A = this chain, B = another copy of it.
């Protein structure tokens, strides 16, 4: 699982402080999460292959999370893309994109699908053999959800030496890796646990931005490998959180601690602060395993 931060700053974009956008690589997929203005430039800078992005997840319709989307889609059109594209986001996102394509007289050369949300409980957006993506209901000034990306348990690891000792033919390996016992010709059953060891631990990633401190997301994101939680403010500006529906670094850390996540990644910093280390310090007083998102930074799990 690999997470590339394309932008992690709040509100007004600047050349050295891009708005929210991330690329999550999971089980062969390349997911784009949020798409603030300039995301297509950041994708080029980080050498992400446009055609590999087939699913785009938009948390909410504030500009710093979505105003790069129409430009990216237009570029896909110019490049004569043919891969399908599905966009997941709040109700209204389809209208927002289609009106602009219509006014520009642009027709997509590829299949463009929308899946709009307007429900405040977790919804499964995408599921295949290897993973599942679910919305995380958040609370912001407009309808907003985060996303929970979960790998499914993979195959068990084959104990080749044990299989050879039992003289099992290779044709059975696939079933054994899937967890089945082996039945010898004489009827004797070799339990799967003698032939395999546990497979890789499924990884998971929770993206929670933008949101006010919202404790009831904890059960859904408990034990995720990594949690990105917005931290627009430091504790010194906590009084702004209720009106703006944002969180502090300390609040993000409290969520991370309650959910016993593997790593907390902070981001969506207000431009009023010059020193990002202050966010890390504040969070680490509550939750040690805290990292700072930075434009262009890559996290591998």
Binding site for B on A (CB under 8 A): 11-15, 37-38, 40-41, 44-45, 61-64, 67-68, 70-71, 74-75, 78-79, 92-93, 95-96, 99-100, 103-106, 141-142
Contacts and interface: CB of A to CB of B under 8 A. Distances in A.
B41 A14 contact: yes
A268 B25 CA distance: 35
A63 B67 contact: no
Contact of A40 (B37, B45, B96): B37
Q: Name the residue among A11, A37, A45, A74 with the largest chain B CB count within 10 angstroms.
A: A37
A37 B68 contact: yes
Contacts of A63: 70-71, 74, 100, 104, 106
B142 A105 contact: yes
A100 B96 contact: yes
28 contacts: A12-B40, A12-B75, A13-B38, A13-B40, A13-B41, A13-B71, A14-B41, A15-B41, A37-B38, A38-B38, A38-B41, A61-B100, A61-B103, A61-B104, A62-B104, A62-B105, A62-B106, A63-B71, A64-B74, A67-B67, A67-B70, A67-B74, A67-B100, A92-B103, A93-B103, A95-B99, A96-B100, A96-B103
A41 B16 CA distance: 9
Contacts of A62: 104-106
A234 B141 CA distance: 50
A103 B116 CA distance: 13
Q: Which of A14, A41, A79 has the most CB of B within 10 A?
A: A41
Contacts of A11: 75, 78
Contacts of A105: 61-62, 141-142
Nearest to A92: B103
Contacts of A14: 41, 44
Contacts of A79: 12
Nearest to A66: B104
Which of A15, A40, A71, A93: most chain B Cβ within 10 A? A71
B71 A37 contact: yes
Nearest to A37: B71
A106 to B, nearest CB: 8
A13 to B, nearest CB: 6
A15 B37 CA distance: 12
Contacts of A61: 100, 103-105
A295 B104 CA distance: 24
Nearest to A91: B103
Nearest to A69: B67
A79 B13 CA distance: 12
Contacts of A99: 95-96, 99
A141 B107 CA distance: 13
B104 A142 contact: yes
